[in-house]
Amino acid sequence: MRAIQFPASALDAGNLPLIFSCSGIFASLLFRSLKKGRFPALRKTPGIKTTNPTGAMTTPDQRRRKHSGMTHDLFPRELLEPFDYDPLTRVVYGPGSIDRLGALSREYGALRVVLFTDPGILATGHIDRCLQSLTAAGIETTLFSAVQPNPSTDDVDAGVKVAREAQADFLVAVGGGSSIDCAKGVNFVLTGGGSMKDYWGVGKAKGPMLPLIVAPTTAGTGSEAQSFALISDAVTHVKMACGDKRASCRVAILDPELTLSMPRSVTAATGIDALSHAIESHVTKKRNSVSQSFSRRAFRLLAGALPVVLERPDHLAARGAALLGAHWAGAAIENSMLGATHALANPLTATYGTTHGVAIGVLLPHVIRFNAEVVNDLYAELVSTLPAAAIAAASGPGGPLSSAGEILAGFVTQVVRQSGQPVSLVELGVEESRLPELAQAAATQWTGTFNPRPVDAASLEELYRCAYSA
């Protein structure tokens, strides 16, 4: 796929929308045709039959259409859905903005900070920069640099012990989603007592929590925009989603310079995960006009930036676009949750230790095709922002595809192939005989309940089979 070129002035975040919209003119001309299905079916959609297992449209869509007195072309259906948007996190963006960490912490009253990170980030030198900034601001800092990938209750317990000994009045996390989630988990237990399991669910915090400033070093989870901590039970390996508005970050420092140190494999896995967040959050049952604004913005940024950062990892403007895209996708999740792709991916990580973003890359195209039965028009909104070259590449030598869902699925597969990640479960070493068992586990995932097209163990197994040797 041809890389998009970013001018040096693109370092101004305000210019980014222009970069991605210029090459999307042709795509927007396609938009109406895609929504109305004007293109003949030149390629048969593989995978699941298009018949809805329930025999009916999803309830939210029925409701939206029933009460819609206006045309969808003029006003999105989501304007009939109420929302209560209460942003809790200040966003500080820009190359070099990590040097404001000390001043920002001081601004919110920090005296004794515990800084959470992982050994890999510690080795990059980013933490030295953070410590210098905190020290210059007169803040006493204790380092906790032992956070593991997919943090568990053991990580949280160890972090709580360190924070108690340091008499911390403020928390900082610098790293990927694991460090950020670990700091949030520590905050729950440190301020409310008990164990992490006591906070599994929504709104379980037991009082005020310590202020938390985070700086992501990957463009992936968007955890800095969310009030949820994902912590695995160290014994059962079940991932617990612990959410409370009080756990939200006070400040998110988005410094693209911090993401330059990511190895290509991490750039790929986290970036594809972020792309899935934009796509899944755009169509969930809980979507609303606020979440969709974030989703569309995130998709446009990520779809433009990922092919570039995979080829030119030192491209600071593209790194900035990916970081912002991942952040807005995280903000979308906070308002609309995720879908079946994540329900299917989690059992692969639990059973085979598959990297989250790698599992997502295999499964997402198949879930898009499955969901296109009920949300193809929403996928068309995303496809309309793709550059013409990307649409052509997604369509392949066979020419234009018949639906927005097919184009979007093809685009995701293109990015996954470009990244060098696997595109099938066979390549991941998944045993075909275990698909029913994996589907049973996927059917218990909370995130699946938000998928726009209902899923159950049977349909999830069928999706695994579509992805098996794709």
Site string for Fe ion, 226-265 (x = CB under 5 A): ----------------------------------------
Nearer to Fe ion, 349 or 384 (CB): 349
Minimal CA–CA distance to 153: which of 244, 249, 243, 230? 230
Nearer to Fe ion, 129 or 277 (CB): 277
DSSP state of 44: P
CA distance 439 to 306: 30
Residue 273 Cβ, how far from Fe ion at the closest point, in Å?
4
Do 192 and 207 form a contact (C-beta atoms < 8 A)?
yes
Say whether residue 273 binds Fe ion (CB under 5 A). yes
**Residues whose CB is less than 8 angstroms from the CB of residue 135 and which lie 6 or more positions away in sequence, other chains included:** 102, 141
Nearer to Fe ion, 78 or 273 (CB): 273
Q: Which of residues 166-225 bind Fe ion (CB under 5 A)?
A: none
**Phi, then psi, of 112 in degrees rounded to 5:** -130, 110
Tell me the window of 58-66, 267-275, 283-291, 401-409 that interacts with Fe ion (CB under 5 A): 267-275
Q: Which of residues 315-334 bind Fe ion (CB under 5 A)?
A: none
For residue 215, the one-letter residue type is A
Residue 75 Cβ, how far from Fe ion at the closest point, in Å?
31
Sheet with 239-243, edge to edge strand ranges = 201-202, 239-243, 228-232
Tokens of 264: 């290509």
Q: Which of residues 78-137 bind Fe ion (CB under 5 A)?
A: none
Strand, helix or coil at 58? coil
Question: Cα torsion for 161, 167, 171, 174, to the nearest 10°?
Answer: -60
Tell me the window of 53-61, 241-249, 271-279, 364-372 that interacts with Fe ion (CB under 5 A): 271-279
Residue 360 Cβ, how far from Fe ion at the closest point, in Å?
6
Residue, CB closest to Fe ion? 273
CA distance 263 to 244: 32
Q: Could you write out the DSSP letters of every residue in 155-215?
A: HHHHHHHHHHHTT-SEEEEEESHHHHHHHHHHHHHHHH-S-GGGG-EES---S----EEEE
Residue 386 Cβ, how far from Fe ion at the closest point, in Å?
21
Nearer to Fe ion, 114 or 467 (CB): 467
Tell me the window of 2-10, 96-104, 130-138, 270-278 that interacts with Fe ion (CB under 5 A): 270-278
Site string for Fe ion, 332-371 (x = CB under 5 A): ----------------------------------------
Residue 333 Cβ, how far from Fe ion at the closest point, in Å?
8
Nearer to Fe ion, 380 or 415 (CB): 415
Sheet with 90-93, edge to edge strand ranges = 90-93, 251-254, 212-216, 170-175, 112-116, 140-144
Nearer to Fe ion, 145 or 351 (CB): 351
Residue 236 Cβ, how far from Fe ion at the closest point, in Å?
20
Nearer to Fe ion, 347 or 387 (CB): 347
Nearer to Fe ion, 30 or 345 (CB): 345
Binding site for Fe ion (CB under 5 A): 273
